[in-house]
Amino acid sequence: MRAASPSRRSRLRRRAASLLAVTALVATSALTAAGTVQASTAPAAATAQPAPVTGFGSNPGNLTMYRYAPPGLGSGSPAVVLLHGCGQGGPEYFTHAGWQKFADAHGFSVIVAEQKQANNSSRCFNWFESGDISRGQGEALSVKQMVDRTVADLAADPDRIFVTGLSAGGIMAASLLAAYPEVFASGAVVAGLPHRCASGMLDAFTCMSPGRTQSAQAWGDLVRAAHPGHSGERPTVQLWHGGADHVVASANLQESVKQWTNAHGTNQTPNATGQLPADTTRTEYHDAGGKPVVISYRTASNGHGTPVAPGSGATQCGQAGAYFLASLCSSYYIVQDWGLAGSGGSDPDPTDPGPDPDPDPDPTDPPATCHTGSNYAHTQAGRATQRGGWTYAVGSGDALGLWNMWVTTTLAESPPGYYRLAPGAC
């Protein structure tokens, strides 16, 4: 068979992209009618917009770069890359997913990559094109250059670079984790697919629905092939999916679990499982050292989109709408998983017991209040913080062990807001 000409390939790409967008839009309309996607009735809070950045490199993928840096951001701060879904814009995704709130609170910059309609008629990242997801090429290299520019401009910490995205952006995030494992510390894939599920645009639909099933070894080999010379640690991965997603079938969640657990050299046996709001199941998969290297989140009633929880509470964020599903704030949990909560732009050191010395006893202090729970529960309640997968008591900085749902510790609180490890005192 004669290979398609460049012009014919371009037409096929545009046609496939249009079909992808139509499929997604029809599914979203149906979900809206069913009440799964809800429009916010509250006025949106005022938000800052990420600023455009030009001249960030050769930009072979012809992408647009925006960046948000909170006022007073110090050197050595983390950076987060955002990749929007089809039909969306970069600043739109930044705002609706609620990322400004956490960047301001925890001191990190946000790199917003945006697709151009000239590259893809539906503004999807070209996750099915080898030339755009491979190391040193296309859109993948453009995003890498955005990271390099931010490290240079803001003196951001090159060891704390993270990436997340929705749908096509989520699949691109998975490919960035595979192609540049030395660049990204971790990544969150929302409603996405395994890296290199599709070998081209013509089989992209099969990957989306019903999904492609392969062995964990086969999936893991695709990750390893993305950078054969890599011998260091791989980024940890968080995988989010709706149980009622009919655009990118929810079966893809387990295929992604297979891929990334295999890439990390572990299996698909869960080490910890817990329940979060909105009927969301959180499952951890640990490496041989007990570190959570893959975490999956499955929200049973969600369709296709990024989970948000409009409101001003600590665990709330975002604005509901098409592709933004009112359920729980995924950005909040992603920030927790990445160890960014409370980072304040400083470099976390797992060997550092904490910044605050043990206060002198005060006879007027009330008796200690004891709190027993998992390390995960302690962080959710504000009694502990998580850094690099390890847990530390607020106040004393006592090391509590791994940050997960099955390590249980008891903390004594005295004075109020100051916690210390109390294995036998309560």
What would the pLDDT profile of 332-341 be if each residue is shown by its tens digit? Answer: 999 999 999 8
Which is more confidently placed, 256 or 416? 256
Q: Give the pLDDT confidence of 62-96 residue by residue, as tens digits.
A: 999 999 999 999 999 999 999 999 999 999 999 99
pLDDT above 50 (res 6): no
Where would I find the H helices in 361-422?
375-380
Lowest average pLDDT, out of 99-103, 295-299, 370-374, goes to 370-374
The whole-angstrom separation of Cα 227 and Cα 182 is: 10
Res. 293 pLDDT band, cuts 50 70 90:
very high
Tell whether omega for the bond before 350 is within 30 degrees of 0, i.e. cis. Answer: no
What is the per-residue DSSP string for 136-194?
Answer: TSHHHHHHHHHHHHHHHHH---TT-EEEEEETHHHHHHHHHHHH-TTT-SEEEEES---
Longest CA–CA span in the chain (Å) reads: 87
Q: Give the pLDDT confidence of 20-47 residue by residue, as tens digits.
A: 443 443 333 333 322 233 333 333 345 6
Q: Give the pLDDT confidence of 109-147 residue by residue, as tens digits.
A: 999 999 999 999 999 999 999 999 999 999 999 999 999
1-16: average pLDDT: 42
Residue identified by tokens 């699949």 is 171
Res. 417 pLDDT band, cuts 50 70 90:
confident
Average pLDDT of the residues of the chain: 85
361-371: average pLDDT: 69
pLDDT above 80 (res 14): no
Q: Give the pLDDT confidence of 172-181 residue by residue, as tens digits.
A: 999 999 999 9
Give the Å distances, CA to CA, from 314 to 95, 117, 165, 190, 405. 17, 36, 22, 21, 20
The pLDDT assigned to 11 comes to 42
Sign for the CA dihedral angle at 25, 30, 33, 38 comes to: negative
Q: Give the pLDDT confidence of 230-254 residue by residue, as tens digits.
A: 999 999 999 999 999 999 999 999 9
pLDDT above 60 (res 349): no
Is 167 one of the annotated active-site residues of the chain? Answer: yes
The pLDDT assigned to 157 comes to 98
In this prediction the pTM is 0.76
270-291: average pLDDT: 94
The whole-angstrom separation of Cα 136 and Cα 124 is: 20
Catalytic position from the list 77, 122, 134, 167: 167
* CA 125 centroid distance within chain: 17
Q: Give the pLDDT confidence of 195-216 residue by residue, as tens digits.
A: 999 988 788 999 999 999 999 9
349-355: average pLDDT: 38
pLDDT above 70 (res 171): yes
- Dihedrals φ, ψ of 386, to 5°? -120, 130
The pLDDT assigned to 256 comes to 98
Burial 272-298 (b: 16+ CB within 10 A, else e): beeebebebebbbbbbeeebbbbbbbb
